[in-house]
Structure 1
């Protein structure tokens, strides 16, 4: 899918707030309130972000976030949205800085060692306290490689679809 048509998961509707149609949301943006900077949201389940919503407003409420969507005026209408994921168009995200990447752009890259040994493709990434970790799968095996540029990750070529790592293929 071209970048123009790609959507990125940025949050989820997790509950109801009040009786006037407000929704509790979970945001995976950094900072978490950045989710409100995106004017166009797509609501749906993973892989099926089909309902466009424009003009949401939101705020911090206690320790969480709440959002109000146009056309949702009461708790009953809002209840039908609980559990849906919130996506934005990939093209709406700001350009990453030098040597910075969106995880979504790394997913699917071919991963090879500095010696040219294929390890598989990036399945997904996850954060740890120390660093992010790249999960590489080759159909039979899964490898967890620290995403530490220079030490383990030697190069990333998004347009070429390849990541080169300094990693023992047997590990």
Structure 2
């Protein structure tokens, strides 16, 4: 159940069917990928409709994930859900420590240099293996800033919706 002012987060999608008993194959954006089952209820969104489901269970299957959803008991019902997006309410995510942030909470924040020059807003963040990268966009350009605390990222202030970075505005 959402709280006032809550927003939705895209956490995955149904990408196929598995077997004949109504199981589905999932793509999960959570880390680790099976953690998607910890965040419920799910809001399943298709082109035609949207509905909330709770009590979804699943497991790893080969290189993917399979799941069973309440009320989905055969292959035809499962096939009708292929392509559905899995959304959750932000409030479904667990509380984190004061020095941690969810990537989703950074999206839309203004990014400024230590000299106060605005670089734009956070579009999204992605992982590279070595470190995460903040994608910052303004009207003219896109910048990729390594998410390295202390070296490039100096301050994240969710109250003022601003991230301060040590970054050359010309780069």
TM over 0.5: same fold?
Answer: yes
Q: Give me the whole-angstrom Cα distance separating, in 2, the residues matched to 1:114 and 1:18.
A: 55
Which has the larger displacement, 60-69 or 153-162? 60-69
Alignment partner, residue 165 of structure 1 = 165
Extract structure 1 runs of 4+ deviating beyond 3 A. none
Which has the larger displacement, 141-150 or 69-78? 69-78
Gaps of 5+ in 1: none
Q: Is the 8 A contact 1:24 1:67 kept in 2?
A: yes
2:92 is the alignment partner of 1:79:
no
Q: Give me the whole-angstrom Cα distance separating, in 2, the residues matched to 1:27 and 1:163.
A: 28
Q: Secondary structure at the match of 1:5?
A: coil
Displacement of 1:96: 2.2
Q: Secondary structure at the match of 2:9?
A: strand
How many pairs does the alignment contain? 169
Gaps of 5+ in 2: none
Q: Give me the whole-angstrom Cα distance separating, in 2, the residues matched to 1:162 and 1:45.
A: 34
Displacement of 1:10: 1.5
Alignment of 1:126-145 (within 5 A): 126-145=126-145
Displacement of 1:92: 1.0
Q: Give me the whole-angstrom Cα distance separating, in 1, the residues matched to 2:16 and 2:117.
A: 47
What RMSD in Å do the two structures reach over aligned CA positions?
Answer: 2.0
Normalised to the residue count of structure 2, the TM-score between the two structures is: 0.91
Displacement of 1:3: 7.1
Q: Give me the whole-angstrom Cα distance separating, in 2, the residues matched to 1:32 and 1:49.
A: 25
